[in-house]
Amino acid sequence: MAGHFHSDALHGVERFTRVADDTINYEATLDDSKVFTRPFKIKFPIKKAPSDYAILESGCFEGESDQVHLKEGIATIPEGHYKQ
């Protein structure tokens, strides 16, 4: 849907490098000569979350399919879904 095209020639290399107690550098190099004109690289740091960080669960809801339906109230979030 977002245009992330590739072929059977895709070759990817990922690297995770710890650079501090709370930071990992992530690098990926993607090469697909059938789709791209040259290999490309992405790179960004990943920071460790604080110890009090909470990951909230999120799910799909019945009838949820697009902004129009959400706006019209067809899809509903179950009572208490976002309470801890």
Domain boundaries, the chain: 1-48, 54-84
CA-based Rg of the chain, rounded to a whole angstrom? 20
Residue 35 has pLDDT above 60, yes or no: yes
Residue 57 has pLDDT above 80, yes or no: no
Residue 31 has pLDDT above 70, yes or no: yes
Long-range CB contacts (< 8 A, 24+ apart) of 40-46? Answer: 45/19
User: Quick count: other Cβ atoms within 10 Å of Cβ 64?
Assistant: 13
Instruction: Report in angstroms the alpha-carbon separations of 66 from 28, 39, 40.
Output: 32, 35, 33
pTM of the predicted structure, to 2 decimals: 0.58
φ and ψ at 71, to 5 degrees? -65, -40
Of residues 3 and 8, more confidently modeled? 8
